[in-house]
Amino acid sequence: MFVHAFETSLGAAAFVHAGYPFRGPIDEVQDGPVRAVQMKDMDPLDGVHWDRVTRTRLGGRGKADWLLPDDVLFVSRGTRFYAICLDAPPQGAVCGPHLFHLRVKPGSALLAGFLAWQINRAPFQRALRRAAEGSSQLSVRRPVLEALRIVVPPLADQARVVELARLARSEQRLYVRLIRNRDSMFESMAEALVSASGHS
């Protein structure tokens, strides 16, 4: 399917940074100037739920790597490794220390959306599971992630894949809504049956 594709390491095509080094839990600050994305705010299908992201202030002397459009966030620990490409993050947003912040290097013949798509596909996922470390909780270290191989086809092919993936996610979200609506309808029917029988 992909002709004229070449293989390279992820680290050769993209910068990989750890999230902001918060000291301990991220404290919520009402109307804080910074949004700190954590794993709990992310979903493989819906991306980042910005309405749930904690507002806070940056402490310590860590340098903030602000999130920009086309940056990729990678969940590097837990039971599921996955990546999300950001469309339009708000100003003043960072990611927490349990996430990796990926940014395609200038001049790389790589689309950020295609990088995220490839990370989430089975071949790369198998490589991640082989490389993961830990007994109670698996995690992927930055040098290991940087060393993993990716395949880079021509930009036109990448763009087609990114668009197909976008359409697939839209279909999945639609199916999820339909299932939830049907479940809600069944619950209402069950409640009506109970009410009609005189039981509570």
pLDDT tens digit string along 79-136?
889 999 999 999 999 999 889 999 999 999 999 999 999 999 999 999 999 988 887 7
Q: Give the model's pLDDT for residue 200.
A: 55
CATH code of the domain made up of 6-153: 3.90.220.20
Of 121, 138, 134, nearest to 82 by C-alpha is 121
Q: State the alpha helices, DSSP H only, in 16-150.
A: 112-119, 122-131, 142-147
Of 1, 11, 5, 15, nearest to 151 by C-alpha is 5
pTM of the model: 0.84
pLDDT single digits (tens) 152-183 = 999 999 999 999 988 887 787 777 788 888 88
- Is 48 within 8 Å of 42 (Cβ atoms)? yes
Q: Give the model's pLDDT for residue 167.
A: 85
Band of pLDDT at residue 197, cut at 50, 70 and 90: confident
Tokens of 101: 């912040």
| Alpha carbon distance 22, 84 (integer Å) | 22
- Residues 6 or more apart whose CB falls under 8 angstroms from that of 42 comprise 48, 49, 73, 75, 84
Q: Give the model's pLDDT for residue 160.
A: 95
Angle of CA points 154, 143, 119, to nearest 5°: 40
Mean pLDDT on 27-45: 93
Band of pLDDT at residue 4, cut at 50, 70 and 90: confident
| Alpha carbon distance 48, 96 (integer Å) | 13
